[in-house]
Chains A and B, each alone.
Chain A
Amino acid sequence: MKKPDFSVVIPVFNSEKALQELTAQLFAVFTILGHSWELIFVDDCSHDSSWEVIQSLQKAHPQHISGYHLARNFGQHNATLCGLKQASGHEIITMDDDLQHSPSDIPTLIATKHRENAELIYGVFPQRKQRFLRRTLSTLLQISGQRMNDGPGNGSSFRLISQRVAKKITRFQWQFVYLDDMLYWHTQAIGFAEVTHHASAYRKSGYSHRSLAKILYNLFVFNTTLPLKLMTFSGLIISILAAAGGIWFIVRKLLYDVPMGFTSLIVAILFSTALITFGLGIIGEYLRRLYLNQTGNPAYSIDRKAPRNTKSTADAN
């Protein structure tokens, strides 16, 4: 079967009311564009009847739509990753399920990708129609992505991803997925297209403030080695300071009149602290390396090739 030009991956959570309209708009856009496409819904264990709606849509458009239902609520990034694994299109679009991302902006993503020859295009909003706390947490999340993997830190869940990059990230075996962190690992050919941010008529963002904070925590603890790096660094610094403190107390004992027993006690405490924290620092470094190996994160990622021609014409002469 011929691969479609585009796969649209939509993680769904409690969006029963939006799915019909979203599907209709996507059909209209791809009819206007004249591209072949498929639509992949991944229901992240919704509490409403989203799954029933997905099933009815799939029955109505079996050539275009497929649906997947997750056994429990794994979160938007994990659900999107599930959809990416099922996608067969040459290009993959990910977007929200509640029409905050308008399908009418898909042509803008495509045009920007062609213009900038990028592998990943983010649809970004010029004016975010979000409350202060949510905006702050989202921004913090993006900046974290930027700091941790040298990414541009200005992403959104409205993305156009080349098949090559999508294929690579679906090989990851992580439990705690932060998609943009994985995308930044595999490509630097990233572009941004301004899109219209529609205040959804259907519901608020599926992320509560608590969920956003939880993602931030997971990103920090599970997707980076930053805590381990901090442990190693602080261990080494504290051990140096403790050893220096111990030496200073010995010098003080030799030069000044210090009460009996004080120097031996403080020096014993400081040197043992120095040894323990130094040891912890070393353990932290070992853990960091073990962690990197365990995640299956590749040591490198090739994005293009110029292979040697094995059928040499010169040799024939």
Chain B
Amino acid sequence: MRIEKYGIVLQRLEEKDLEHLRRQRNAAHIQRYMEFREHITPEQQRAWFRSINNNQNLYFTLWYEGRSIGLINSKNIQWEPLESDAGLFIWEEQLWNTQIPAFSTLILLEISFLSLPAEKSRCLVLRDNPRAQNFNRQLGYTLMSGQREVYNQQYELTREYFFRKTIKIIRAAETITTPDKNILTVTFYPEDFATGLTEHIFPLIDKTRVIESITHENAIIYRFYPVKEK
């Protein structure tokens, strides 16, 4: 599965990506923002991958200008009603203060709430990471009740808040990018059919938002209308 918008590509995490991901995840500037801060071995990494490589956990490597820049995920997915936990880390430090982290998250939120009928998205943020707290609040996430004193705090974005707040940010993001990069494109490969992922996703897609669905030799591609046009 491959998702693209704003010039950012989300490519489903594969085994070949693990070693690079592990090295980035073990880097000091990433580790200090994670709850689990010990060194991760290749064996631990493979075991983790085996546990998340399924239809309830979708992990994507982020690609920008031809290089992998981070990892984004939608995990613990409950398909009906659609709910999941979002997560993101960008290992290229120079991109932290750009629009790339927000755009990456907006892509996932657009798929969840507009292309699919998600009811809720949750995320975990460390209490001593104000940058991530602000980031999530700006996107529409709110701190869940009873989480104020917890170290790894849980935030949630409801469907109502998405349409009240997040959608305006998506429209703004589309305004500042070129029109050719405003079309959300989702590509499904044979392995997505073989694993049954498409059995979950296809019936839930809001077809009123689809510009076209195209069949290629080895993939089915959905192209969605920009949010500001609908």
Contact = CB atoms under 8 A, between A and B. Distances in A.
A29 B198 CA distance: 13
B198 A104 contact: no
Contacts of A58: none
A34 B190 contact: yes
B207 A126 contact: yes
B216 A107 contact: no
A240 to B, nearest CB: 52
A168 B202 CA distance: 30
Interface residues of A, number: 26
Q: Interface size bucket, B side?
A: 20 to 34
Interface in B198-218: 198-200, 202-203, 205-208, 210, 212-218
Contact of B220 (A107, A125, A126, A127): A107
Contact of A32 (B202, B206, B220): B220
A198 interface: yes
A198 B207 contact: no
Contacts of A285: none
Contact of A107 (B189, B198, B207, B208): B198
A136 to B, nearest CB: 21
Contacts of A104: 213-215, 220-221
A196 B208 CA distance: 8
A194 B207 CA distance: 6
B219 interface: yes
A193 B205 CA distance: 10
B64 interface: no
A73 to B, nearest CB: 30
B211 to A, nearest CB: 8
Given A105-B213, A111-B199, A29 B220 contact: yes
A103 B199 contact: no
A107 B221 CA distance: 12
B203 A196 contact: no
B215 A34 contact: no
A127 B208 contact: yes
Contacts of A193: 203
Contacts of A28: 215-218
Given A34-B193, A104-B220, A29 B207 contact: no
Interface in A125-144: 125-127
Interface of B: 188-190, 193-194, 198-200, 202-203, 205-208, 210, 212-221
Interface of A: 25, 28-29, 31-34, 102-105, 107-108, 110-112, 114-115, 125-127, 193-196, 198
- In the A-B complex, the 10 residue pairs with the smallest Cβ-Cβ separation, listed nearest first, are A104-B213, A194-B207, A108-B202, A25-B215, A111-B199, A126-B208, A104-B215, A111-B202, A28-B215, A196-B210
Given A25-B215, A28-B217, A32-B193, 10 more contacts: A32-B215, A33-B193, A34-B193, A102-B214, A104-B221, A105-B213, A112-B203, A126-B208, A193-B203, A196-B210
